[in-house]
Structure 1
Amino acid sequence: MKCIEDLSPVWQEKWKETGFTELMPIQQQMIPEMVAGNDIVAESPTGSGKTLAYILPILQRVDPKKPNTQAMIIAPSQELSMQIVNVLREWTEGTDVTVTPLIGGANVQRQLDKLKKKPTIVVGTPGRLNELVKSKKLKMHEVRIMVLDEGDQLMAREHRGVMKDLIEKTQQERQLVLVSATITEEIELVAERLMKHPTRLQVSAEDLPKQGKVTHSFIKVDERDKTDLLRSLSHMKGVKALAFVNSLDQVLMKESKLKFRDAKIATLHSEMKKEERKKALDDFRKGDTAVLIATEVAARGLDIDQVTHVVHVDVPMSIEQYLHRSGRTGRAGADGEVLTLLAYADEKYYKKLIKQLPDKAVQKIMHGGELVEGNSKTISAKGKNR
């Protein structure tokens, strides 16, 4: 693997210690481009190895002997930021490279104390980074590598002003890298205005090592019955479902109703304390809860193995959002299912949306505590669909 051989001996040794034998397609493409110092816009599916694709070049290019912060990774959520920090800490253990998280919801004073020690790499969320820059505690002119993870979210209209301010405060010769599972033309144009001759990298699901078979399905349901359906799903054997809703209010309402009914669910949203979010994720990972209900932002970049179902409680607002959410299941050769809870008012829009999928979506119903193909008219007297 030529791009691993081009890294310093310390990182080659770390690679061997991890037990990895193959580079993922995005890593093969991105590592040499980043090591060369090029600006990059990279698109690759969820779970395809993007984090390591930028972490290895950063480690190669920073100099821990220099007493300043040389690289910054920005992510839209606290969870994704901490996942990146944890990966970095694994790789930098026993080296002089230092890493500090700068995320909202954490103790500011503790972060300031760590910043005084001039960490080599910082990882943070836009709000906290902006706050620290404005108070002149974080010096952006020292940063020469900047990575925007989940860049489509970071460069969306609501964050764009803050992101442009942060980018423009870095030194002119800095390297800017944007990675995401989906990149729209608009995001690409915005990124290119801030970059110098960016290299465009693209990996599709077909380019990845064998993935599991993913079934796309929908179940017709009254809006008011969606909560009951989630409760039924939470009691289905072997289910580990990530359920997406479009608003924080809906998460809170469903949490209140489902916990009252003793459903095996957890929630993830922006108003939770750090310890609460950690417990929700730990319970879901261990299987103590079967359904994790989250908003798009709260679930960005979450790395959870063996998700059996992605549930769109609300129909996604775009095909990009649908695919991004859906990429959480069917990983590492395991099969998965993407289930949309389809209210009657959304049928027309949903049909238009799924025309862009390679396979037809299957209609299902909940029968006898199981999801089965068919509709209410296709159940026989024996309780099986014809």
Structure 2
Amino acid sequence: MTTPLKDLQPFLQENWEKAAFEALTPVQEQMLPSMLGKKDLIVESPTGTGKTLAYCLPVLESIDSNSASVQAVIIAPTKELVMQIHTVFQEYAQGSGISGTTLIGGVNVQRQIDKLKKKPQYIIGTPGRILELYKSKKLKLHEVKTIVVDEADVVYDMELMDEVQNIVKGTMKDRQLVFVSATISKKSEEVAKEWMNQPLFIKVERDTAAANRVQNLYLISERRDKIDNLRRIIRHHSAMKAIVFFGDSMRLEEIAAKMAYRGITVGVISGQASKQERQKVMREFRASDHALLLSTDLAARGLDISGLTHVIHFDLADSEKQYIHRSGRTGRMGQEGTIISLVTEREENVLLKWAKKMNVYPQKVTFRRDQLVPSSQDSQQKTNKKRPPTKSAPQRNFTKKKGK
């Protein structure tokens, strides 16, 4: 066990051993001692590098299980992310006597008030609901030691920073404040610095070896051909579990219907879907070995899906930051993955410009006999910087795991 871990409380060491992780990731190695040292932090680390656990361990280490007050607040932009963070905290709090609860919108407020009466030591929630309960004096923040804002850039983009600021103001001046995100924009950094005391900036680059396990491909495709090209990609990947990103939610149902007509089963998750509908779609998607999920960026915020083999950009992202967030959903924690972008000739330059900034070299591919193969011109120019494209295989129906 590495140095920071061996000094943690026994329950954290035991739960770490149960999780069977071999070693801390780079972001965990840097955040753990800094958070235990009560430093304010601004942390930028790629999606899938273990940021949640990086702040979970020091937060739980610092909580006094004998105190009946809220001592830590974790803020996240979406309900889904809140629940995923809560799962991690529950796993690592086992055997500690430490309890926590979630506070999210769209849920009966009285039930959450009842949970607060049980005196949780940490809360994880969305900014609006936390602030609502604080203003109604159902939630006390005067003994909070640490506030973590996860996906800080998304919180900023969703214009939720005012709520976060009001939550921060409800805590003591010597509390610790931590901003964590896959990307930290200049604006988010400026906001953080206004509220923080001599913050330490931690930036972790994606591990080169891990990046090499992710294939990054792109296919020149005119808009009118994208649906057919998506169908061809799906048909010839037998072990695909993919999320397909769209820029316009209006097209999701239409494209899902066209896929269904071709015998391809898909799930759709849109911002208009109810909580129950979203949960049903995600439950079925997670239970399947082979599945396709169509989503907009807004609907997919906060989704952490293990075993995701592919990310497909049906529509090019609106920004480099959005492209990074999308792409980071596959190849998490060193696993293999594939990113496929369907771009027009005009969009190709934008994609390559973003990739160059990220020190990534997407491989241009084309269809040959319904199989994806390297574009001859592209392979001649950049062979030394690329990996082979995904191999094709006969079509298989999407099937659920045995016993599901």
TM-score of the pair, normalised by structure 2: 0.84
- Once residues 128 and 228 of structure 1 are traced to their aligned partners in structure 2, the CA distance between those partners, rounded to angstroms, is 43
Greater CA drift, 317-326 or 173-182: 317-326
Q: Deviations over 1:12-44 (max 9, x none)?
A: 233233323311111111111111111111111
User: Counterpart of 2:52 in structure 1: which amino acid?
Assistant: T
Query: Does structure 2 retain, via aligned residues, the 8 Å contact 1:365–1:374?
Result: yes
User: Structure 1: which 5+ residue stretches go unaligned?
Assistant: 376-386
Q: Deviations over 1:104-156 (max 9, x none)?
A: 23332221211122211111112322332333322233322111111111123
Q: Deviations over 1:267-317 (max 9, x none)?
A: 223333333323322322333652222222433343323322211122112
Query: Where does residue 77 of structure 1 map in the other structure?
Result: 78
Query: Does structure 1 retain, via aligned residues, the 8 Å contact 2:239–2:289?
Result: no
Query: Where does residue 220 of structure 1 map in the other structure?
Result: 220
Query: Does structure 2 retain, via aligned residues, the 8 Å contact 1:106–1:274?
Result: no
Q: 1:186 to 1:269 in 2, by over 3 A?
A: same
Q: 1:261 to 1:24 in 2, by over 3 A?
A: same
- Once residues 257 and 130 of structure 2 are traced to their aligned partners in structure 1, the CA distance between those partners, rounded to angstroms, is 33
Q: 1:326 to 1:104 in 2, by over 3 A?
A: same
Alignment partner of 1:138 is 2:124: no
- Once residues 124 and 146 of structure 2 are traced to their aligned partners in structure 1, the CA distance between those partners, rounded to angstroms, is 12
Query: Where does residue 120 of structure 1 map in the other structure?
Result: 121
Alignment partner of 1:90 is 2:91: yes
Query: Does structure 2 retain, via aligned residues, the 8 Å contact 1:212–1:336?
Result: no
Query: Where does residue 62 of structure 1 map in the other structure?
Result: 63
User: Counterpart of 1:227 in structure 2: which amino acid?
Assistant: I
Percent identical among aligned pairs is 40
User: Counterpart of 2:218 in structure 1: which amino acid?
Assistant: F
* 1:193 positional shift: 0.8
Q: How many residues of Structure 1 are paired with residues of Structure 2 in the alignment?
A: 376
* 1:77 positional shift: 1.7
User: Structure 2: which 5+ residue stretches go unaligned?
Assistant: 377-404
Residue aligned with 1:142, SS:
coil
Q: 1:178 to 1:372 in 2, by over 3 A?
A: same
> What are the equivalent positions in structure 2 for 1:142-221 lying under 5 Å apart?
142-156=143-157, 158-206=159-207, 210-221=210-221
> What are the equivalent positions in structure 2 for 1:27-38 lying under 5 Å apart?
27-38=28-39
Residue aligned with 1:365, SS:
strand
- Once residues 249 and 160 of structure 2 are traced to their aligned partners in structure 1, the CA distance between those partners, rounded to angstroms, is 18
Query: Where does residue 378 of structure 1 map in the other structure?
Result: none
Greater CA drift, 260-269 or 143-152: 260-269
Residue aligned with 2:357, SS:
coil
Query: Where does residue 343 of structure 1 map in the other structure?
Result: 344
Q: 1:16 to 1:346 in 2, by over 3 A?
A: closer
- Once residues 288 and 239 of structure 1 are traced to their aligned partners in structure 2, the CA distance between those partners, rounded to angstroms, is 8
* 1:349 positional shift: 3.4
Query: Does structure 2 retain, via aligned residues, the 8 Å contact 1:245–1:294?
Result: yes
- Once residues 335 and 3 of structure 2 are traced to their aligned partners in structure 1, the CA distance between those partners, rounded to angstroms, is 30
Q: Deviations over 1:324-378 (max 9, x none)?
A: 2212223455443221121355345334434434343333334554333339xxx
- Once residues 41 and 248 of structure 2 are traced to their aligned partners in structure 1, the CA distance between those partners, rounded to angstroms, is 32
Alignment partner of 1:296 is 2:297: yes
User: Counterpart of 2:164 in structure 1: which amino acid?
Assistant: M
Query: Where does residue 230 of structure 2 map in the other structure?
Result: 230
Greater CA drift, 365-374 or 84-93: 365-374
User: Counterpart of 2:68 in structure 1: which amino acid?
Assistant: P
- Once residues 247 and 130 of structure 1 are traced to their aligned partners in structure 2, the CA distance between those partners, rounded to angstroms, is 31
Query: Where does residue 287 of structure 2 map in the other structure?
Result: 286
TM-score of the pair, normalised by structure 1: 0.87
> What are the equivalent positions in structure 2 for 1:248-267 lying under 5 Å apart?
248-255=249-256, 257-259=258-260, 262-267=263-268
- Once residues 23 and 167 of structure 2 are traced to their aligned partners in structure 1, the CA distance between those partners, rounded to angstroms, is 35
